[in-house]
Structure 1
Amino acid sequence: MTVDESWEKVERWLARYAPEDELPEPAGRDDLARLSEQAGIRLPPDIEQSLLRHNGSGLVTVVPPGFVLYGVDEIARSYTEWHVLKSDEPVYVPIGSLGPLEMTVDTRTGHIGSYDPVQGYVRDDDPLGASFSALLAFVADALDSSPPWIAMLPGGEEWEATHEDADFPGTLSWTDEAGEPADWDMNSLNRRFGFTDDGNSS
């Protein structure tokens, strides 16, 4: 799945369920050139393509459990701080955040990781960390499925997308709280999947 195809799925979900969310307009190629010249970094192609679709995610928490994606200016600002404070890791570029936790990309390999002030740089060896495009496709497929929209993270963590957050209704939020027990209509399910309810048990 391409980055644009993934964004299309995310955009459809937001338009239908989270009309209060608004993604930023695209960055321009001149913005990417400026980032490269001023900060001295070149982002992997999939992240550049994402920025050319949306210059970050604004306040929209696209990636569970609640990461927002940086735009070009935020990447440059955060990388400048990163380069000064963490100069032993100059190839890691921050591309998003969840509070003090930053999502990073290894510009040599495209691998996604994270940085926090306590643990430092961390990269999990899981398929979602292989690239930004893989991570975005994972989110897109979760939102493109039938509800409930569950994202199963490595390690067995389950995060559910919701547009019914009490504090921010009409926006995309991720929750790890179990939903209400499903009220299954077994007769309807039996008909849907070709089973007959003849009262006999096998």
Structure 2
Amino acid sequence: MTVVTSAWERVERWMGRNAPMSAAKLAGPATTEAIAAAQGRTGLTFPEELVESLLRHNGLTEWASLLPEADPQSLDEIVEWYEIRMDIAPDVDGFDTHSPNDEPWWHELWVPFGAFASNLQVIDLRPGPERGRLGLAPNSDGGDFSNAYPSLGGYLTLVAEALETGGRVGCWHPYLTVTGEIWWGQAGETELAGQPLHPVPGGR
């Protein structure tokens, strides 16, 4: 079993027991044909871990705070975000690096995995030892890999561990809302929209 599939199974199992309403918002799998079509539209060969994730869940059926940093995107959303960034970048000199940033606003070898507002969580496909890392492409600044996860599988594994143990992923902690849905927030948060938040129960 691959790292990505194993991590998703752990997340699904935990959600099924503790947050079934959140689990219900995970979309079903993408088809291999749809993945091939998306790769054709972007001109990219998606990394194996992204393909494995999409074959498990093709994004969400509706918005939900299921993952700590961004919402996992569907194939159509991945392509749309990629095309938007590729269209805008030439007009804002976005392919070049500008001080004090050490990354451009966008790179043609970044593929979106998640999104929050217009900020993207991207997999870096540039050649080199850090290929496959998961970082951020903000809407209003250069890319940021200072706190990058080494891989998508590693990130999803951290998510599974945080849910199972009541731990954290970076600065993000998992909570349960009054309706029993997952919410990722900062340490010590006690309310969401005036309603109480509860730390997730420890233990698998």
Matches within 5 A, 1:90-101: 90-101=108-119
State the distance in 2 between where 1:75 and 1:6 align: 21
Q: Is the 8 A contact 1:60 1:68 kept in 2?
A: yes
Q: Distance in 2 between matches of 1:60 and 1:13?
A: 16
Letter in 1 for 2:10: K
| Equivalent residue, structure 1, for 2:54 | 51
Among candidates 170, 185, 197, match of residue 175 of structure 1: 185
* 1:111 aligned partner: 133
Equivalent pair of 2:158/2:169 in contact (CA under 8 Å): no
Structure 1 96/179 Cα, relative in aligned 2: closer, same or farther at 3 Å?
Answer: closer
Structural mapping, 1:21-40, within 5 Å: 21=22, 22=24, 23-40=26-43
Alignment correspondent of 2:13 = 12
Larger CA Rg, structure 1 vs 2: 1
Identity between Structure 1 and Structure 2 (%): 27
Gaps of 5+ in 2: 96-106, 191-204
Asked whether the 8 Å contact 1:24–1:57 carries over to 2, the reply is yes
What residue in structure 2 maps to residue 192 of structure 1? none
Residue 152 of structure 1, CA deviation:
4.4
Deviation at 1:84, TM superposition (A): 1.0
Deviations 1:3-46 (A, max 9, x none): 11101111012111212122100001101100111221111101
Give CA-to-partner distance per residue, 1:78-105, whole Å, 9 cap, x none.
1110111125211112221122321011
Query: How far, CA to CA, are the matches of 1:177 and 1:131 in structure 2?
Result: 24
1:177 to partner: Cα distance: 4.2
CA distance in 2, matches of 1:80, 1:119: 18
| 2:175 is the alignment partner of 1:162 | yes
**Hey, what's the Cα distance between the residues in 1 that align with 2:35 and 2:82?**
14
Gaps of 5+ in 1: 181-202
Counterpart in 1 of 2:201?
none
Is residue 42–residue 107 contact of structure 1 (8 Å, CA) maintained in 2? no
Following the alignment from structure 1 to structure 2, what is the Cα–Cα distance between the partners of residues 33 and 12? 29
